[in-house]
């Protein structure tokens, strides 16, 4: 039997969710339910019929599969209280309906006036929300180990979000009204959008025809000055007469394209760093095809990160540079530096890590995808060669916020036939990359599953025991407070691994918002806020209690940090590269333009 190459995205507990028969059984109307005539939930088709969401009676005959397992794992007293609360809520709904009072719908999925204009639609939505709260409370009350409980909560939430009446034409009055108003045109367009997305293999979140890499995204001027099979190195054109003598090397995540840091001139972190008087180099990762499917984590460390450091040193004629790693780029960069310092090299004057894991003790909701069985299946499939497909990453991350990144577009694009508006960030989000199988499997096992990098000397890379404590450099650590990819407390934990004997060399800054929006927050926008504290502690809660909130962008704090470690000011370089590393092509280069198949 061949291992399932998509196992990383399909943990065993989701198998029931993938079987339409189970969905149908869960949603089968129970005897005595006021919606007993509703059609049961079948195969997932937004244009098909969906039962009124009140059709599931939590207290009828015991439902099979996952839901019955939930009930049997809850303290009987707690379950009785949940039942009592549910019945109180359901009785109140029936009374409101009998007296023609529309229930309150405090949920953005039901904000359109059409949901309130008909009492049956309003009741249907309210019944769905009541059932959703009950199922969520059941999942929260389950007696299970933390990891198992998190998977249960995630699975239940996936099911609840998918069952929303807003996701089906038969139960979405807003979409029905649109059909009438457009004389059927919206339905025709919606079906066309769905068929186009089926061919594309993913849901369209933006008008992708509105953007082109190098034309209206990733437009900061520069030249590619080095390339190999793994990456191109871009040296950007200076925007100031003088620059800090030590250059800045940016290592972005290899899971996505680099231009999240260079979307538009007014929100480009790359351009901001240049305007602040830094000579900026950046790693532009190649989007691997099957010919690179044999590459390992060691290859990425040596042939990419360490090579980018040495080329930057050579072009700038500086023994030490300022290094910057974002997300998994930060994990790769830190691993490379640990190897180099173990060999007696001292290549950096400072280190910046943005929303990056070094300690994977708490990986947040991503942990629901990780267990020994799934990692072994992945290793059997691609551990010795092959590709981790970028489309799988996109699907996995979308499932972490399904209402925002999946069902929102099902309703707008398919049910209402709307054209997705142009949005550069969502264009970038859809522009994914592959990873070599051996590299990805090493990363998966040694970080998310076993957290080996956190323990000095537990793993070796390029023959050197990895010990982040050997990296002797002042460090700027940034995390986003609402980050669901890298919980800020986990990024905070990096302070225990870096400069362990000199904790004052670590500067931690916490920004508002999430993994991307928190990072891409230019000062000129005057949005959001960030927190700082001089308190030296390994307790994240204590640090936050002592922190001061500042309005605006954290970029200004980072710029001051860079300036402190940039060395003296020197005339800006007149041309990119040098005699050994001559310009190859203009930025953003051709590697970043390669799309997924």
Q: What is the pLDDT of residues 151-182, one digit of tens each?
A: 999 999 999 999 999 999 999 999 999 999 99
pLDDT band at 4 (very low <50, low <70, confident <90, very high): very low
582 pLDDT more than 90: yes
Residue 48: per-residue pLDDT: 58
Would you state the pLDDT for residue 507? Answer: 98
Task: Specify the residue for token string 């929300």.
Answer: 129
Contacts of 198 (CB under 8 A, 6+ apart): none
Percent of the chain with pLDDT over 70: 88
Q: How far is CA 114 from CA 166, 175, 552, in A?
A: 11, 9, 39
Give me the pLDDT at residue 428, please: 95
Read off the pLDDT of residues 63-114 as tens digits, 9 standing for 90 and up. Answer: 345 555 666 688 999 999 999 999 999 999 998 888 878 888 999 999 999 9
Residues 554 and 529: their CA atoms lie apart, in Å, by: 7
Cα dihedral 353, 357, 362, 363 sign: positive
Tokens of 212: 């082109």
214 touches 151 (CB < 8 A): no
Q: Are 508 and 543 in contact (CB under 8 A)?
A: yes
Q: Quick check: helix, strand or coil at residue 427?
A: helix
Residues 543-560, mean pLDDT to the nearest whole number: 98
Q: Which of 54-58, 142-146, 183-187, 262-266 has the lowest mean pLDDT?
A: 54-58
Q: What is the pLDDT of residue 202?
A: 87
Please state which CATH class domain 222-389+434-593 belongs to.
Answer: alpha beta
Query: If pLDDT is split at 50, 70 and 90, which confidence band does 54 have?
Result: very low
CA distance 415 to 193: 10
Domain with CATH 3.40.50.1820 in the chain: 222-389+434-593
Average pLDDT over residues 34-47: 38
Contacts of 74 (CB under 8 A, 6+ apart): 82, 138, 141, 142, 143
Distance in angstroms (rounded) separating the CA atoms of residues 451 and 517: 27
More confident residue, 100 or 399: 399
d(CA 22, CA 65): 7
Distance, in Å, from the CA atom of 528 to the CA atom of 536, rounded to the nearest integer, reads: 25
Give the pLDDT mean for 281-290.
Answer: 98
Q: Which two structure tokens, joined as six digits, stand for 377?
A: 């299946």
Q: List, for residues 335-365, the tens digit of each pLDDT value.
A: 999 999 999 999 999 999 999 999 999 999 8
Sole residue written with tokens 């200004």: 556
Tell me phi and psi for residue 49, to 5 degrees. -80, 145
pLDDT tens digits for range 493-537: 999 999 999 999 999 999 999 999 999 999 999 999 999 999 999
Neighbours of 538 (CB within 10 A): 12
Residue 47, pLDDT score: 63
pTM metric for this prediction:
0.87
Q: What is the mean pLDDT of residues 182-198?
A: 96
Q: What pLDDT is attached to residue 216?
A: 96
Question: Whole-angstrom Cα distance, residue 465 to residue 342?
Answer: 8
Rg (CA), the chain: 26
DSSP H or E segment with residue 25: helix 20-27
Helix (H, G, I), strand (E, B) or coil at 281: strand
Mean pLDDT of the chain: 89
The residue among 237, 189, 349, 248 whose CA lies nearest residue 586 is: 237
Per-residue pLDDT band at 200 (split at 50, 70, 90): confident
Instruction: List, in sequence order, every beta strand (DSSP E) within 90-153.
Output: none
In this predicted structure, the answer to whether residue 297 has a pLDDT above a threshold of 80 is yes
The fraction of the chain above a pLDDT of 90, given in percent, is 80
What is the distance between the alpha carbons of residues 276 and 479, in angstroms, rounded to a whole number?
22
Which of the residues 327, 332, 336, 410 is marked catalytic? 327
d(CA 471, CA 466): 10
53 has a pLDDT exceeding 50: no
Residue 68: predicted pLDDT: 59
Query: Among 48, 165, 167, 173, which Cα is nearest to 119's?
Result: 173
Residue 15 has pLDDT above 90, yes or no: no
Q: 30 pLDDT band (50/70/90 cuts)? A: very low
In 296-411, the DSSP E strands lie at 321-326, 348-354, 387-388
> In the chain, what is the straight-line distance between the N-terminal and C-terminal CA atoms, in Å?
27
327 is catalytic: yes
Q: What's the confidence (pLDDT) of residue 466?
A: 98
Helix residue spans in 28-75 (DSSP H):
65-72
Longest dimension (CA), the chain: 84
Supply the pLDDT for residue 6.
Answer: 39
Q: Give the tokens for residue 339.
A: 């190897």
| pLDDT per residue as tens digits for the range 221-239 | 999 999 999 999 999 999 9
């Amino acid at each position: 039997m061949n291992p399932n190459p998509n196992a990383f995205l399909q943990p065993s507990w989701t198998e029931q969710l993938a079987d339409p028969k189970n969905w149908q059984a869960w949603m089968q109307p129970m005897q005595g339910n006021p919606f007993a005539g509703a059609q049961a939930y079948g195969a997932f088709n937004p244009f098909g019929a969906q039962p009124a969401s009140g059709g599931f009676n939590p207290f009828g005959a015991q439902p099979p599969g996952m839901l019955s397992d939930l009930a049997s794992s809850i303290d009987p007293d707690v379950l009785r209280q949940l039942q009592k609360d549910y019945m109180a809520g359901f009785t109140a709904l029936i009374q409101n309906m009998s007296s023609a009072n529309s229930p309150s719908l405090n949920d953005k999925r039901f904000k359109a006036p059409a949901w309130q204009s008909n009492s049956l639609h309003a009741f249907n939505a309210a019944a769905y929300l009541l059932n959703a709260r009950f199922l969520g409370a059941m999942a929260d009350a389950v007696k299970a180990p933390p990891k198992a409980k998190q998977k249960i909560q995630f699975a239940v939430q996936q099911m609840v979000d998918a069952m929303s009446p807003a996701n089906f034409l038969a139960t979405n009055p807003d979409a029905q009204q649109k059909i009438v108003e457009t004389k059927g045109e919206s339905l025709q367009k919606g079906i066309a959008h769905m068929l186009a997305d089926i061919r594309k293999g993913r849901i369209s979140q933006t008008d992708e025809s509105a953007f082109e890499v190098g034309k209206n995204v990733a437009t900061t001027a520069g030249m590619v000055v080095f390339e190999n099979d793994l990456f191109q190195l871009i040296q950007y054109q200076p925007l100031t007469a003088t620059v800090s003598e030590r250059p800045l090397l940016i290592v972005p995540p290899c899971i996505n394209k680099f231009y999240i840091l260079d979307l538009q001139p007014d929100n480009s972190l790359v351009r901001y760093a240049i305007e602040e008087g830094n000579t900026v180099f950046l790693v532009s990762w190649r989007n691997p095809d099957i010919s690179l499917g044999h590459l390992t984590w060691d290859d990425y460390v040596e042939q990419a990160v360490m090579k980018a450091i040495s080329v930057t040193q050579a072009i700038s004629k500086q023994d030490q540079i300022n290094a910057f790693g974002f997300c998994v780029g930060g994990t790769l960069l830190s691993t490379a530096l640990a190897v180099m310092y173990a060999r007696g090299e001292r290549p950096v004057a400072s280190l910046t890590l943005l929303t990056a894991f070094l300690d994977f003790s708490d990986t947040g909701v991503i942990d629901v995808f990780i267990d020994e069985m799934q990692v072994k299946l992945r290793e059997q499939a691609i551990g010795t060669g092959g590709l981790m497909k970028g489309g799988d990453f996109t699907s996995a991350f979308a499932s972490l916020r399904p209402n925002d990144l999946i069902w929102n577009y099902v309703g707008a694009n398919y049910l209402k036939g709307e054209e997705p508006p142009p949005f550069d960030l969502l264009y970038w989000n859809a522009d994914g990359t592959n990873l070599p199988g051996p590299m990805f499997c090493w990363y998966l096992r040694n970080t998310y599953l076993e957290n080996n990098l956190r323990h000095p000397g537990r793993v070796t890379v390029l023959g050197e025991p990895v010990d982040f404590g050997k990296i002797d450099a002042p460090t700027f650590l940034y995390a986003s407070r609402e980050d669901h990819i890298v919980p800020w407390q986990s990024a905070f934990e990096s302070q225990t691994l870096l400069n362990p004997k000199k904790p004052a060399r670590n500067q931690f800054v916490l920004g508002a918002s999430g993994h991307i929006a928190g990072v891409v927050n230019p000062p000129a926008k005057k949005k959001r806020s960030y927190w700082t504290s001089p308190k030296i502690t390994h307790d994240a809660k204590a640090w936050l209690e002592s922190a001061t909130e500042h309005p605006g962008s954290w970029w200004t704090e980072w710029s001051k940090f860079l300036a402190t470690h940039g060395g003296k000011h020197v005339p800006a370089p007149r041309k990119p590269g040098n005699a050994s590393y001559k310009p190859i092509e203009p930025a953003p280069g051709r590697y970043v333009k390669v799309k997924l198949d």
